[in-house]
Amino acid sequence: METKSPNPELWVDEYGDYLYRYAVHRLRDPIVAEDAVQETFLAGIKGLDGYNGQVDVRFWLRGILRNKIIDHFRKSAREMPLEDVEEYEMPDTFLMKYSGIPTRTPLPWKFDPRKSFEDVEFWKIFESCTAKLPERLRQAFTLKELEGVSSQETCEVLGISPNNLWVMIHRSRKHLKQCLEKNWGELNR
Amino acid sequence: MWTCKRVAKSLAETHYKGLPGRKRLGLKAHMALCLVCSRYHKDAMLMQDCAKALAEREQAGNCQLPARLPEDAKERMKRQLRDVD
């Protein structure tokens, strides 16, 4: 177990790249990611008394960064036009009312992604597919599926209804499936 | 017996692996019998597995993006941390 680093200045060399990679991946903007890392270090110093040494400093700082990222999403969602959300209304169909499924049964996968989990190339493709998601979908997918934020908090952060979120997650999965099948499945069948 | 809507709601709100054993069994039993939603939810579960695996890789520092904090940013941050300290 790592102990409290006596010199937070060392944090930059020890954890800077790790936190920056994580922030760039979540925020997709190097400048915003840099700011988020900087704010994380500053918040870390201010909150150092609250660090109890039970988790690695790296993961403790990452927890702070996670909150900064959520704050950024909250702020950027407020600046997006409200009309953007309207296209994510729940479809008023019999299937939706009966089963809670927004669309008809999807086509089966052409390959099983689980079999590619050990392949570094697969993750490169997966990451580039998540980066290509439309911004609102990417934020919803990041918060809900990658960060494991609850549905209620995701809705509050993004300023959307539970129905909007449901549709957004459905569409992001659909986009990702299409992207993976095109860029990975067809080459590795 | 789980209804289609209950399955959809559970999978929309939580990762299926986070469901308690009995609930997960109920979900799987429903999907084994229900043609309407089995493929749709299998897709959702597969994508949840992908997202979980990606998040675990990121947590371990295995992002594929070759991003490194620029040196000038590092120096700036060190100066700031010194000032606060």
pLDDT of B8 reads 79
**Residues of A with Cβ-Cβ distance to B15 under 8 angstroms:** 148
ipTM: 0.82
For B2-46, how does the pLDDT look when each residue is reduced to its tens digit (9 = 90+)? Answer: 788 788 778 877 788 888 888 888 888 888 888 777 877 888 889
Q: What is the percent of chain A with per-residue pLDDT over 70, rounded to a whole number?
A: 86
For A71-83, how does the pLDDT look when each residue is reduced to its tens digit (9 = 90+)? Answer: 999 999 888 776 6
What distance in Å separates the CA atoms of residue A16 and residue B38, rounded to the nearest whole number?
A: 44
pLDDT of A5 reads 54
Q: Where are the domains of chain A?
A: 9-79, 83-185
A104 confidence band (pLDDT: 50, 70, 90):
low
> B43 CB near a chain A CB, below 8 Å?
yes
> B17 CB near a chain A CB, below 8 Å?
no
Q: What is the percent of chain A with per-residue pLDDT over 90, rounded to a whole number?
A: 51
Q: How far is B28 from chain A (nearest CA, A)?
A: 16
**Residues of B with Cβ-Cβ distance to A95 under 8 angstroms:** 36
- Tell me: domain A83-185, CATH 1.10.10.10, correct? yes
Exposure string of B4-39, with b = 16+ CB inside 10 Å and e = fewer, is beebbbbbbbbbbeebeeeeeebbbebbeebeebbb
CATH classification for the domain delimited by A9-79, as one of 1.10.1740, 1.20.1530, 3.40.50, 1.25.10: 1.10.1740
For A158-175, how does the pLDDT look when each residue is reduced to its tens digit (9 = 90+)? Answer: 999 888 898 898 889 989
Q: Hey, are the CB atoms on B65 and A30 less than 8 Å from each other?
A: no
Q: Best interface-test mutation with B: which of A7, A10, A14, A18 has the largest number of B CBs within 10 A?
A: A18
**Residues of B with Cβ-Cβ distance to A146 under 8 angstroms:** 51, 54-55, 58
Residue B2 carries which DSSP code?
-
What distance in Å separates the CA atoms of residue A88 and residue A84, rounded to the nearest whole number?
A: 8
pLDDT of A98 reads 65
**Residues of B with Cβ-Cβ distance to A130 under 8 angstroms:** 54
Q: How far is A78 from chain B (nearest CA, A)?
A: 23
User: In 10 A of CB A136, how many CB atoms?
Assistant: 21
Q: Hey, are the CB atoms on B77 and A16 less than 8 Å from each other?
A: yes
Q: Where are the domains of chain B?
A: 4-63
**Residues of A with Cβ-Cβ distance to B83 under 8 angstroms:** none
Across all residues in chain A, what is the average pLDDT? Answer: 86
Helix axes A9-27, B71-84, angle to 10 degrees: 130
- Model-level pTM greater than 0.90? no
Residue listed under structure tokens 């930059």? A12
Q: How far is A20 from chain B (nearest CA, A)?
A: 6
